[in-house]
């Protein structure tokens, strides 16, 4: 009982001591105009912060993420052939579905950067 209480109190007291001591030991920095401004990287904070995003770029990025995840699902395929030789059936269905999706996107013109 006392051992469990000891294992609870020592980390609690140690974390409280560190929380109270560290702010006093930390180096204080001076706040100047550049540090208080919203941007430190050379941008003018008085201009419009929103830059219009191309919808074409967004769609291609989403397609890339989808196909990237699907390719990561194909990595364990060689190891699955060692375990169960009949894994070619679901693999072929998966690759067929992936190919049909790619052909559909290609026919819809989603893979073209500019028209």
> What are the pLDDT digits (tens) for 19-75?
998 888 877 767 776 666 666 555 555 666 666 777 778 888 888 888 888 888 888
Start-to-end C-alpha separation, the chain: 75
Q: Please say whether the beta carbons of 113 and 54 come within 8 A.
A: no
H-state helical runs in the chain: 2-25, 33-36, 55-74, 77-83, 88-108
Q: Please say whether the beta carbons of 1 and 7 come within 8 A.
A: no
Whole-model pTM over 0.95: no
Across residues 96-114, what is the average pLDDT? 84
Q: What is the pLDDT of residue 94?
A: 85
């Amino acid at each position: 009982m006392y051992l469990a209480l000891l294992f609870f109190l020592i980390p609690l007291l140690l974390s409280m001591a560190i929380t109270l001591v560290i702010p006093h030991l930390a180096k204080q920095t001076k706040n100047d105009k550049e540090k208080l401004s919203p941007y430190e990287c050379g941008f003018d904070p008085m201009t419009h912060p929103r830059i219009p995003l191309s919808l074409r770029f967004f769609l291609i990025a989403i397609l890339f993420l989808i196909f990237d995840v699907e390719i990561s699902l194909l990595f364990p395929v060689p190891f699955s052939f060692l375990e169960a030789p009949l894994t070619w059936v679901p693999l072929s269905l998966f690759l067929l579905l992936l190919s049909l999706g790619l052909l559909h996107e290609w026919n819809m013109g989603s893979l073209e950067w500019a028209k």
